[in-house]
Structure formats: C-alpha cells, structure tokens
Amino acid sequence: MLVNKFPDRSISIDNKNYIYFGGTAYLGLATHIEFQNQLIQSIKKWGTFYGSSRNSNIKLSIYNKFEDFFAEQIGAEAVLTLSSGTLAGGLVVDFLSNKIQTFFHYPKTHPAVLAKHSLPLLVDGKLHPKLLDETTEEIVITVDAILGLEVKPTSFDFFEQIPDHKTITLVIDESHSLGIIGEKSQGIYNTIQHKKIQRKIMIASLGKALSLSGGIIAGDQTFIDALKNEPVFVSSSSANPAYLETYINTQHLYKEQQEKLKHNLAFLGKHLQLQNKIKFNQDYPVIYCEDIAIFDALFKAGIVITNFKYPTYENIMNRIVITANHTKNDLQILVQLLHKHLC
C-alpha cells in the first residue's frame, strides 16, 4: 500500500480514508505542529544534516549536551549517538565479537543485535546446555526489552540459573520501550540490576516513540570511550544534530503526549475484553492479534493495522498500535470491531 503523506491517526489509501493503528510513532510527535516548528528552528541553527565525523577537529556542542542529558535521564554512565539504531547495534556486536567468543540471544531478538555465531539462549524452553557447563568464560547475551509478540518487558529471572563462572555482558535493545515504558518513560535499562551482569549495554533506535532521526548506545564510560575510537564510528556520519536539540527543547511535549497515551491505554484497559486471540497490556501501546483474518476484517471496516512478515517472526505479524493522537472515537470503533470479529 503506497501512501503520499505520513500516516498519523488516519491514512488515505486509493482516495479512501482509514483509521490507522500501525507504525511505531507511539507518542504521535512526528506530526505534532509545535514539535515540527521546534525542529524547523533547530534545522535553521544546525542545518538539515551534519555529515562529518564526530572525531573531526570541528565538533558540534549539541552532541555532548544531548548525550549528557540523555544519560542522566535513563540512568547510564554515558551515551553515544549514531545515525541509526541498526548502526548502533552493529557497532556494539562487532566490538564485542572481537573480545568475546560466545554469544547467546533470546528468541526473536532484533537482527541489529544478533551476532552471526550467536547461540539460542533457550533450547526446548530450557537454558542452552553451554550456559550451564563448567567452562569459565565471558559471554554476551542479547535481548529485546520487549520481545516480539509480547506486551510486557522481558523477565531476566533466567540469570539465577547461570553459574557464577560465566561472566555476563548484557546487550538490550530498547527501541520499542524508550519514551513509553518505565515510571518516567525512560525504558528499563536502569531497572536491570543483577550481580551476575558484569557489563550492561543498551542500544536503540530513536525513531520510534521519540520521533528522532538517529540511534543510541548507553553503557559504562569505559565502554563508550572505546567505541568512539572504533573505525566504523570514526568514519560514519553523525546523528542529525537538529533532532537532538529538538529533543532537549521539547521535553514538555514529550510529557504531554505520554500522558495522552496513558489515557488512551487506560480506556482500552477498561473497555477491551481480553481473550486468547489477542495480547494487550495497559502499559504498552500495542495489541497483538493471532487471528490471521483480522487484518482483512478491520480493513473492510475502515481500519488499517501493521501486517507483514518480520524476519524474526514465524508467521505474518498483526500489530495494532495505539498512539497518543488517537481519539476516543477511534478507540471505541477499534474495540467494537475486535469484539465483533474475535469474541
């Protein structure tokens, strides 16, 4: 389906208007007029893009300002921005692969943090035997903060089963949790505390709830400093500085949109009848539906949802996304149709 403008809460397909429950713009900021106006002002200051290396002799102050600001928000020692979340994931995995041989990944881990030689964390529902053997070694575990087809943050209880002679580096992808999950919508990075974790690293795209162009890596200061000298980082373009300044200057808008989203999710929590064909959690703006017929049913009734084959999913994904911009009427129509076709 080709469209000719950004789809917000509504979308036009073949000259017909639909309510849109798809995408990843959870906070609805991409089309927010005040947010756009602030971005325009920042573009006038910093240009449309900055293609130079961060290690060049000329350095833009906004990078340090944003990275210090963001690190404090999420409770990390240090943060590094890049031009995309995929680049952030690739840089981290490549860097660790040169130092640590053994990688494990949680099911449905995003390809951005999936090393080619990575082993599955779970085999037949149990920890991989290599995690439990007597070999003393450093290992890397990669996982999404919220797994594919799940609506609650990943549980890290499995750490209790891993023996102490395994030294763990945890890499967590927070692309779909930053800005919406946590007491202050700061994600789950700072909540993961376990004595068996020697190093904790977060990577994320900033293009989901935060509506920013770029990616981010968070971790301890030593790790972040080492990444700054990696050839890929030195030779790559930077994150767009105008977006970084816009984020700092629009914190009031983020808070307003977060409250609107919470209100919308509370409405669904009150009115949506849950049953085994759908997954929904009032703290996360996505409904997963396992009924393969739901896309066509909703489409015929005037609603478009996300529907495609994702690399780490076995079947076609039906993802119903709630944003801060959806109206009460939008939600009422969605609830009525889901009850009609699934209950």
In this predicted model, what pLDDT tens digit does every residue of 232-290 receive, in sequence order?
999 998 999 999 999 999 999 999 999 999 999 999 999 998 877 899 999 999 999 98
**Rg of the chain over CA atoms, in angstroms?**
21
The string of pLDDT tens digits covering residues 289-336 is 988 899 999 999 999 999 887 666 667 789 999 999 999 999 999 999
Per-residue pLDDT tens over the stretch 38-75: 999 999 999 999 999 999 999 999 999 999 999 999 99
Domains in the chain (CATH in brackets) are 10-29+252-342 (3.90.1150.10), 45-249 (3.40.640.10)
Confirm whether pTM is higher than 0.85: yes
Of 208, 142, 210, whose CA–CA distance to 176 is shortest? 208
The set of residues, in sequence order, having a beta carbon less than 8 Å from that of 339 and lying 6+ positions away, is: 273
The tokens for 284 are 């996360």
Q: Give the pair of three-digit tokens for residue 250.
A: 């629009």
The distance of Cα 215 from the centroid of its chain, to the nearest Å, equals 10
